[in-house]
Chain A
Amino acid sequence: MDAVQESNRPTVLDRSSDVPPFNARPLAARESRDSIEDIWGPRTPHHGAWPVRVDERATEAPQRWVPSVCVLCSTGCGLDVGVADGRIVGVRGRADDRVNHGRLGPKGLHGWQANASRDRLTTPLIRRGDRLVPATWEDAMSLIVERSRDAIDRFGPGSHGFYNSGQLFLEEYYTLALVAEAGIGTAHVDGNTRLCTATAANALIESFGTDGAPGSYADFDVTDAMFLVGHNMAATQTVLWARVLDRLDGPSPPRLVVVDPRLTQAARRADVHLAPRPGTNLPLLNGIIRIIIERGWIDSDFIRDHTVDFETLVSSTEPWTPDEVERVSHVPRASLEAAAEILGTSQSLVSTCLQGVYQSLQATASAIQVNNIHLIRGLIGKPGSTVFQMNGQPTAQNTRECGVNGEFVAFRNWKNPEHVAATAKVWKIEPSKLPTWTPPTHAMQMFQLAETGSIRFLWIIATNPAVTLPETGRIRRIVEKEDLFVVVSDAFLTETAELADVVLPAAIWGEKTGCTTNADRTVHLSQQAVEPPGDARSDLEIFLDYARRMDFRNIDGEPLIPWNDSEGAFEGWKACSAGRPCDYSGMSYAMLRRGPVQWPCNAEHPTGRERQYEDGVFNTASEYCETYGHDLATGAAITPEEYAAKDPKGRAVIKGAEYLPPPEEPDAAYPFLLTTGRLTHHFHTRTKTGRASALNAAAPTAFVELSEADASNLGIGEGDLVEVRSRRGRVRVPARLGGIEPGVAFIPFHYGDAGDDEAPTTANRLTLTGWDPVSKQPHFKFAAVAIERVGGVDRSPAETPLAGRARAPELVGGGSAR
């Protein structure tokens, strides 16, 4: 058996030799454009309705098209999957889809090729000594159940941790919620969405009472101004950026303000580009708000009728004069005032935040200030006026809805006994079984609990923490611990899976059916197009099998999880979500097969609701809200009594925030500030995009981006090998010059190195171990580093045809999501 594995063993990406060089990429039989070259496609200028443009790419003629949705960012573009002879052969955008109107980006047009990758996992693997050997499902699941039971018997339900993803479908998350919270009864359930959208969720909850985007992508079509904060939309959400470009090139274009320390493609199109020092978003936003208040650009009636605690904002922004903002953030006074004027005077405004806010310092506090701009100007809940706390991953919204990302299921409040009882009733269990005695454990804490021996059984689902979490060395040591049983379900043998005790081959997008919900609450049904490879199974099947074997029962002695397929799970979720903001009760698979629907969808809104809060009534009433809120500086929970004492009763909560000193600062030894992020052509740790030849060829290796001034001081030329060191570790990558402020460096985080200390490329070797006190999202975008030339041009990124100097800004992105 071992010998079989030797020859057949899937390899991790970095060592795979079967990725063809760029010019050998298979020619597409049908391709509407070369999206690697032409990322956003031809312009269709507009104001109002966004014209249709159908993008398509197929390597051979499909025999049939299966409706689905793209899952390579949070935009959520509707597409059809082309199938020939039981294989995926292409995709095309759906013209009637409200999200993309037919368009697709480079990741969507190419990423599906990973499904057919030769190194897909096709059989379960069990660790024997230092090797993973193939096993049957029966053997693998029996071992998992045996170890799971053993851990519960010896250490109780709190010995179990489930670390999931933003890549599964709603039905799978909901089933996992029942398995973990009602079946086992552990609070240790979180997703890698902690790394990308936890702040989005927390910012929405703190301001508006519950999670969920207030507005609609259609707001981009009519707005007068756009404010992109730490969101390199051009790279991370290419189809949405095409929508913005069409506005910018159309009649009555909106004015655009971009906050990004790098001169990204989005920043190049901005009317005002603010490039703050990393870690200074809060002073900058406080400065903008101070100007808006001082100049009287506020909507006093809206503030009086629809918000509470405006005074806290007045006092928290008071110290942030334009000069003080300039001193701390290095943003010139004139730029700040120009930006504030656009944001303070436009008739409508769409703001978006992404990782430049969420993964930087004081993340939740900063994201909330963007909400505050809308609240004090009364620009929310109407066409063209909304704030998007964006998501990084395609189904991040679903993890949050289903309560496997540190929230309580269906945006309920785990501190509210009535909400707990309602959940217990739907699930037919005793309320005391639900682990509501403590807030759900967040990802970073979960690994710490594994380190200290509290968690003995850790199930990692469709995510790669050995690359994506801070302090990767420590995470690898934890996953390798003798007394920790680690199960990994994934489609590929990732860096993390290599360290697991049991690896389960998972079916992925295209090979299973389920729902995804994007960042504007649009629910798509992604239908199965092909069979999974080998013995791979969907995560839903895996969870259901585990639940059956564990024999979880409800209060009536019936199986805890009554469904056997995704539609059954969806029906269960409808019942659970009824009456909550994310109400799916009016939807059905039949309805979703006809097209996407936005939640809430119920008797009141039978076809879904495009905008929330149109009446200025928010979800903040103490009996309805999702949490009672937190102290933005410390993360201390506000007690139910304190909240009830000043119950906002439907008015939005304005929260000011004070600036706190950064956890480390550049000094003589580490003079540069490092930020990390994502590239246009890749997603996460390249588990999929690295296996699509054209995407991989467009950005094959890691690099560090430096300003030309810094590079010349350090004697570094384009493509030279440089070592970047922080107080925690080092990487060696080629240099790429330009497009960034002096004193700041950028490294994309996609490139795992499987713990190879000889050729380290993982950006997270350098990053801080630290996270936001409220959202617990790590600070990936702030670290002091030293940079040194260690060699000449090696495998320069400029050697690939598309990654040359001239194109660099288009290829790299400041936003990121893991």
Chain B
Amino acid sequence: MSSPDVAASLIPAGTRRQVAHYLRAVEAAERELRDALVLVAERHERNYELSHGATTLALWSADHLRWLAPLTAAYGHGADDQAAQLRSALLGGTRIGAAGELADACDLAALVQRAEMLWTILVQGATALHEDGLLDVASRARDHSRRQLAWLRTIVEHEAPDAIAIVADRSGQIAASLPNRPTSIGSIPDAVWGPVAAAVVVLVVGVLGLLVGLPWLVPSLGPSAVLIAVTPNHPTARAWNTVVGHAGGVISGFIAVALLGAASAPTVLADHQLVISRVAAAVLAIGLTVAVGFLARAPHPPAAATTLLVALGSIATLRDALIVMAGIVLTAGIGEVMRELRRRRAAPGERMAPKRSILGQRLRG
């Protein structure tokens, strides 16, 4: 591979930023793809065809991330949430039996397709810029993307006739879908994991609050717990988004109340009385909260509940605000543990030989 950093220094800064934008987009896409492939490999461990093939494809995406490292070093780093948002919309629900395998193959294809498109953009860009190092990486990676897609199509061609033409034997399908070891949290359907995970988050915060004697359990913690439990892969469920989002909500609320002189107005939820200043504060607070969310790269819808609690007078003192934020930080912390449990999966080969195996090293870098 030729040295990309030398070439990158020769092109204008503006162009470099454009390339960097697509590099981080494709990096995020490949990272999500790798993890999704590993998830599918673990989830369908008893279907060797699917599980082994997905592992091979994940190795390629892991290779791509390694190839990308020197390029992002040369062109510039950055974050990209779009791949995570796409990933979050996919691979959910109950993925059992042949229908579940087909659904997962379709979802993987969407992620591969995105990566292939981004690599194509980079191939075209690198050709126009005569960036040979970039072109070499992008061409080889795009070739892999196409082979990944071809494999998914083959899987679908194989499995679709049986999935559709045959009356499913539900118990047989479930038996055949059980992971070889009962440790596969990735195999638990959303409908089972979601309620349990949300309840665990609230339980832990509530019990700790009881022990310490502080009212950490506040209403806006609920939607945060739901995001963590139900859409753990979505960017909004991250600890950063949870903490910064709610903090932005609190601050926005206090600013709005101060600016619009609503501090002395009746507390809406306690006094059951709505006045103009509270309405105005609520309008300003929610606008500010969403804006802060974007600026801080921390959109988090439940923060809107927090900011309204402030704007409408339920949270009025610094002590109140600190107690709320303590509850939120705790939620985010427990949330990270729950998300990691749900998200961090291992390919079957990695599970079989976990100690520094060649497979594990290549998958995880």
Contact = CB atoms under 8 A, between A and B. Distances in A.
B359 A663 contact: yes
A453 to B, nearest CB: 2
A interface, over-half SS: loop
A159 interface: yes
B154 A636 contact: yes
A7 B167 CA distance: 42
B352 A445 contact: no
Interface in A145-192: 154-156, 158-159, 187
Nearest to A659: B358
B150 A158 contact: no
A158 B56 CA distance: 30
Contacts of A770: 48, 52
Contacts of A454: 98, 162, 166, 169
A770 B56 CA distance: 13
Interface in A444-484: 444-445, 448-449, 451-454, 481, 483
Given A452-B173, A635-B154, A636-B153, A187 B161 contact: yes
A445 B101 CA distance: 14
A444 B148 CA distance: 23
A667 B355 contact: yes
Contacts of B354: 667
B358 A769 contact: no
Given A437-B161, A631-B151, A770-B52, A665 B173 contact: no
Nearest to B60: A633
Given A154-B167, A449-B162, A663-B349, A637 B59 contact: no
A675 B167 CA distance: 40
A438 B161 CA distance: 7
Contacts of A633: 56, 147
Given A633-B147, A664-B353, A483 B165 contact: no
Contacts of B175: 451-452
B245 to A, nearest CB: 41
B49 interface: yes
Contacts of B57: 634
A660 B52 CA distance: 11
B209 to A, nearest CB: 43
Contacts of B171: 453
B147 A159 contact: no
A313 B357 CA distance: 27
Contact of B169 (A158, A187, A453, A636): A453
A780 interface: no
Interface size classification for chain A: 35 or more
B168 interface: yes
A579 interface: no
A448 B52 contact: no
Interface string A754-784: 0000000000000001110100000000001
Interface string B321-365: 000000000000000000000000000110011110111001000
Contacts, number: 119
A3 interface: no
A770 B97 CA distance: 19
Contact of A667 (B49, B53, B353): B353
A452 B158 contact: no
Given A636-B154, A770-B48, A770-B52, A631 B349 contact: no
B167 A660 contact: no
Nearest to B175: A451
Nearest to B181: A727
A661 B169 contact: no
A663 B176 contact: no
B154 A637 contact: yes
B320 interface: no
B47 interface: yes
Contacts of B165: 156, 158
Contacts of A784: 352-353
A155 B166 contact: yes
A439 interface: yes
Contact of A444 (B48, B98, B158, B349): B48
Contact of A438 (B56, B157, B167, B358): B157
A660 B48 contact: no
Contacts of B357: 661, 664-665, 667
Interface string A658-701: 00111111111000000000000000000000000000000000
B172 interface: yes
Given A664-B349, A665-B353, A634 B166 contact: no
Contacts of A660: 56, 59
A634 B155 CA distance: 10
Interface string A615-643: 00000000000000001011111110000
Interface in A26-54: none
B146 to A, nearest CB: 10
Nearest to A328: B358
Contacts of A483: 169, 172
Given A635-B151, A663-B352, A664-B352, A448 B47 contact: yes
A639 B150 CA distance: 9
**B151, B352, B362: residue with the most chain A Cβ atoms closer than 10 Å:** B352
A631 B150 contact: yes
**A437, A452, A636, A660: residue with the most chain B Cβ atoms closer than 10 Å:** A452
B99 to A, nearest CB: 11
B41 to A, nearest CB: 11
Contacts of B157: 438-439, 637
Contacts of A666: 353
B48 A771 contact: yes
B171 to A, nearest CB: 8
Top 6 A-B residue pairs of the complex, sorted by shortest distance between their CB atoms: A453-B169, A453-B172, A636-B151, A636-B150, A661-B359, A661-B358
29 contacts: A156-B165, A158-B166, A438-B157, A448-B176, A452-B169, A453-B173, A454-B98, A631-B151, A634-B147, A634-B148, A634-B154, A635-B49, A636-B151, A636-B153, A637-B153, A638-B150, A639-B150, A660-B56, A663-B52, A663-B349, A664-B349, A664-B357, A665-B358, A666-B353, A667-B354, A667-B357, A668-B355, A771-B48, A784-B353
Interface of A: 154-156, 158-159, 187, 437-439, 444-445, 448-449, 451-454, 481, 483, 631, 633-639, 660-668, 727, 769-771, 773, 784
Given A483-B169, A631-B147, A770-B52, 5 more contacts: A158-B161, A158-B166, A448-B47, A452-B168, A663-B52
Interface of B: 46-49, 52-53, 56-57, 59, 97-98, 147-148, 150-151, 153-154, 157-158, 160-162, 165-169, 171-173, 175-176, 348-349, 352-355, 357-359, 362
